[in-house]
Structure 1
Amino acid sequence: MIVALTIWFYFLTISFRFTKEDVHTRTNIKSSVQRGLKSKFVSQFDVLEPIIDDLIPKKSQVELLKCEDKIQLYISDDEVIFFQQFDELIPSLKIIHKYPSAFPSVKVDRGAIKFVLSGANIMCPGLTSPGADLPEAPGLPEGEIVAIYAEGKEHALAIGKLIMSTEDIKSKNKGIGIELFHYLGDGLWNFHAD
């Protein structure tokens, strides 16, 4: 278990400490592919449907940057809108900050902030202790992409994927609850496409 966590943490830190040198190709996306991406993003986050044309305007040019470790960045107006790791589209934190109510969210306690900002996965006790907040029953299912907020903070500090449902996190209260993908201050946050 510790070896697996170490390997994942290593992968995560490598993945988002990339620079422009880690970008292999940069291409413009055809409008038909762009429509498909918008549909896929809306199917993952159905609440985005009313704002998807604000997020990716119809006349804008979306670019695809293929990077190290099979990470793909989708950029519009020199801003990373979302990235793809394998098959999932994951919004960037800058997009979550613009549209905070459009994404499911959880809140960690103050004690978890320094660990989250160093790229660590989020343990269940950081999601169940006083100051933390999980959605009420039925909650969120395992595998859901969530914005991660912190006690006393206004903006999301990370985005990740639930390793177990929020109901299981509450009942088990041990182990990893959220696999972290992207956090404030990582390479993706500091990446400039221009």
Structure 2
Amino acid sequence: MFKKFTQEEISAQNQVKASVQRRIRQSIADEYPDLEPLLDDLLPKKSPLIVAKCQNHVNLVVVNNVPLFFNVREGPYMPTLRLLHQYPTIMKTFKVDRGAIKFVLAGANIMCPGLTSAGGALDENVPTEAPVV
């Protein structure tokens, strides 16, 4: 499911203008309201924000040589796993039961029985098509 990322997959890196940086920052603030108090630390206004364009239409948002967010085909911005480990509460969380773990790690989709059976946790207040952890 997860493929190792290499430097050769980056086709272009551009330091974005201030207007584009504000648009990216506002988009991330709209998608992750719990992250808004930390945005000044994560995306400082004085530090250069670099967008690295990769193969397969993936864009990485990089600050101080650390990738923080990515998006696919101009879709919503998603945090990287490194950022999620630092701030695990920025996204809604679902929990699967023990029987589904090995299949999910192998790349399977999460089905309703894995969330609703004993050991699973399903938040009812999550909108359809919303990204979750």
Give TM-score scaled by structure 2 length. 0.88
Please give the per-residue CA displacement for 1:55-111, whole angstroms capped at 9, x wherever unaligned: 212222221111111011111122211101122111111111111122111111122
Task: Name the residue aligned to 1:93.
Answer: 81
Cα RMSD, aligned residues only = 1.7
Structure 1: unaligned runs, 5 residues or longer: 1-11, 148-194
Residue identity in the other structure for 2:100: A
Q: SS at the partner of 2:53?
A: strand
Gap change, CA 1:119 and 1:79, over 3 Å in 2 = farther
Structure 2: unaligned runs, 5 residues or longer: none
Q: SS at the partner of 1:106?
A: coil
2:69 to 57, 64, 82: 82
1:52 deviates by: 1.0
Alignment of 1:8-157 (within 5 A): 16-86=3-73, 87-135=75-123, 137=124, 139-147=125-133
1:115 deviates by: 2.1
* Matched-pair identity in %: 41
Stretch deviating more after TM superposition (62-71 or 26-35): 26-35
Task: Name the residue aligned to 1:183.
Answer: none
1:27 deviates by: 1.4
Gap change, CA 1:17 and 1:120, over 3 Å in 2 = farther
Q: SS at the partner of 2:118?
A: coil
CA distance in 1, matches of 2:98, 2:80: 23
Choose between structure 1 and 2: higher strand proportion: 1
Task: Name the residue aligned to 1:176.
Answer: none
Stretch deviating more after TM superposition (64-73 or 96-105): 96-105
CA distance in 2, matches of 1:119, 1:23: 24
1:32 deviates by: 2.1
1:140 deviates by: 0.7
Q: SS at the partner of 1:36?
A: helix
Q: SS at the partner of 1:83?
A: strand
> Runs in 1 of length 4+ with deviation above 3 angstroms?
none
